[in-house]
Structure 1
Amino acid sequence: MDIITILGPTASGKTSVAVKLAERLDAEIISADSRQVYRRMDLGTGKDLDDYTINGKQIPYHLIDIVEPGTKYNVFEYQQDFLKAYNDIRSRGKRVIVCGGTGLYLESILRSYRLSPVPQNPQLRERLKDKTLDELTQILSQYKVLHNSTDVDSAQRAIRAIEIAEYYKHTPIDDRPFPTLTSYNIGIDVDRDTRRKRITQRLKQRLDAGMVDEIRHLLAEGIQPDDLIYYGLEYKYLTLYAINKLSYDEMFRQLEIAIHQFAKRQMTWFRGMERRGIEIHWLKAEEAVNINITDL
């Protein structure tokens, strides 16, 4: 088995499971999270870096804090960075655990996507610029090429997803071989009500910990509001609050709803992965932690 993959929706506790397994297996963790790649975007992305320390031991992690805020990191870049991290870990005789909730990143590894870097399409962007998020989502649904629909919660991200889908519709995919990796895939099974309670509790904790200040510091660095809004979820609604487009109560209410919707989209993606031939073993967190290592 080349890798063990721990996946699940936001607030499912997958990082804790991955860290405990990594300690047992003498493994290192590669993140599969499209937002945690950004430096200084900590609370809003839920990095919870303290969770990587267990029994006084620091579990090495990769592909967290690797690019600057304001950049548009993508799945093609993720694949390249994943391979570098994977080869590095294996060269040192360690096992690899992949942990995250970004379905497209996970699937690009598990199904060995062959991808090319996708350039911007100014003409397409001009045609789409005045459309609403609902209209853009509907356009996106008409493409057959997989896109990261779980993360499409802002117009900018939707336009970029359409741009990518349109590119692959008309451009032959380069013969860029990606190795076929065998993986034992564990999905963290958490019931809907528990997940909703955890999401609300975690949102309150992060706000109390200074998530609004994190946004304000990023804006003070000169990062444009639209660039933060592009990242969606916490960065979208907290930026709108920071620039006085939403009241605090409006921000909290709308963000809470958006995170619940995001978790639902994540689960829809994971079910789609199963339909596309990826076997996922759905386990409660305690079952996943105590899984028989000899089976892996």
Structure 2
Amino acid sequence: MDSVCDINNQTLRSKAGGEEYSPLPLIVILGPTASGKTKLAVRLARALNGEIISADSRQVFKGMDIGTGKDLDQYKEVPYHLIDIVSPGETYNLHQFSQDFYSSFTQIADNGAQPILCGGTGLYIEHILNPRPYSAIPTSTDFKQNLERKSREELLVELKQVALPIDFCVDTSTKKRLARAIEIGLFLKNNPDFTIKRPKQIPFIVLGINPELSVRRERIANRLEDRLNQGLIDEMNSLLAQGVSHKVLQGYGLEYKFCSKYILGELNFVELRTQLTVAIQQFAKRQMTFFRGMERKGISINWLPRGEISQQEIAALKIINSYGT
């Protein structure tokens, strides 16, 4: 039997039924870590004949399963994309994600299914909702690292000496982003014939999950305990045995950074658990700050009611059904 959902007089059916597919806007599910994004995405995918595209900068890496919380068992029969696509240590950046996203999006549409973008990497999500064509400009890790050794004040002075396109929005919040702006300006100066390809704007609906602070903290603490019991340290040792260095693993932050320090003897187990819990809490706070910043830039986020996921699913479907009315 077809999977059918009437949304604003548009009929969404699986291709197996031979019916015409009326594509809907991209559904985006975002929120801080441990907010329940994947569970909601899977429920919506089942209701809407959907396929999920991951927007997580670490879940792309093979073998980094427990530390990144891939939770692949939750997907079951729901198709997913952009998980386990590169090896640890390989370069994967915003430009590569953009290319992979549009490839997956096209594939899902060709399947007659509903694309659902789900994750907590705000930079990736924002780029899809508000495309940044300049991300296609190649980057040099060595060049950026040399710039980042300078003070923020020095970088601001250097930035003033670089001519940037009038539509380029400079983010001066971190040295990393200042360095990238300088790199882009210098590249365009040295490559005047470089053509900027502007991504096609995709219509979208953004759904946000933000549990109560006390709930989020409890979930983070419990989840970390579960991951440690499930073999997070063993996963780290396996990656090291495959030739992935401590330096590379620490670069992925959070679980991999602190577990690396534990294996190296720089932290004992109690320090690992305590410091990592605090770091994840701080990370969740930064995620919410980024999402609020997206709202200030004009991206509308429909924050779902706090509570049971079944109620969030009902609220989400109502929002989706009302799209365009």
How far apart are 1:92 and its partner, in Å?
A: 1.3
TM-score normalized with structure 2 length: 0.79
1:119 equivalent in alignment to 2:135: no
Matching of residue 213 in structure 1 with residue 234 in structure 2: yes
Q: Is the 8 A contact 1:118 1:164 kept in 2?
A: no
Aligned residue in 2 for 1:145:
170
Amino acid at match of 2:145: R
Change (3 A) 1:113 1:123: closer
| Aligned residue in 2 for 1:294 | 321
Q: Which moved more, 1:120-129 or 1:258-267?
A: 120-129
> 1:38 pairs with 57, 61, 64, which one?
61
* Bigger RCO (CA 8 Å, 6+ sep): 1
Secondary structure, counterpart of 1:73 in structure 2: coil
Letter in 2 for 1:36: Q
Call closer, same or farther: CA 1:248–1:33 in 2, change over 3 Å. same
**Could you list the runs of 5+ residues in structure 2 that have no partner in the other structure?**
1-23, 160-168, 189-193
Give, as a single letter, the amino acid of the residue that structure 2 aligns with 1:12. S
3-state SS of 1:97 partner: strand
Structure 2 counterpart of 1:289, which letter?
Answer: E
Tell me by how many angstroms 1:159 deviates: 7.4
Residue of 199, 223, 226 corresponding to 2:220: 199
The 5 Å alignment of 1:61-210 reads 61-114=80-133, 115-120=135-140, 122=142, 125-126=145-146, 128=148, 145-146=170-171, 163-172=179-188, 174-210=195-231
Deviation at residue 295 of structure 1 after TM alignment: 2.4
Q: Distance in 1 between matches of 2:297 and 2:107?
A: 30
Equivalent residue number for residue 74 of structure 2: 51
Q: Are the equivalent residues in 1 in contact too, given 2:52–2:116 (CA < 8 A)?
A: yes
Asked if 1 retains the 8 angstrom alpha-carbon contact of 2:144 and 2:176, the reply is no
Q: Which residue does the alignment assign to 1:247?
A: 268
Equivalents in 2 of 1:243, 1:72: separation in Å?
25
Contact 2:147–2:179 (8 Å) recurs in 1: no
TM-score by length of 1: 0.86
Partners of 1:121 and 1:75 lie apart in 2 by: 14
Quote the Cα distance in structure 2 between the aligned partners of 1:127 and 1:90: 42
Q: Which AA in structure 2 matches 1:45?
A: T
Larger Rg over CA atoms: 2
- Paired residue secondary structure (1:214): helix
Q: Distance in 2 between matches of 1:263 and 1:139?
A: 28
1-structure distance, mates of 2:38, 2:141:
37
Task: State the distance in 2 between where 1:126 and 1:294 align.
Answer: 50
Instruction: List gaps (5 residues or longer) in structure 1.
Output: 150-157
Q: Distance in 2 between the 1:34 and 1:139 partners?
A: 26
Shift of 1:169: 4.4
Q: How well do the aligned residues superpose, as a CA RMSD in angstroms? A: 2.5
Say whether 1:9 aligns with 2:32: yes
| Residue of structure 1 in register with 2:5 after alignment | none
- The correspondence of residues 203-282 of structure 1 with structure 2, limited to 5 A, is 203-282=224-303
Q: Equivalents in 2 of 1:193, 1:124: separation in Å? A: 38
Partner SS for 1:223:
coil
Q: Which amino acid aligns with 1:165?
A: A
Runs of 4+ in 1 over 2 A off after TM superposition: 121-129, 142-147, 158-166, 168-174, 284-288, 291-296
Q: Is the 8 A contact 1:38 1:65 kept in 2?
A: yes
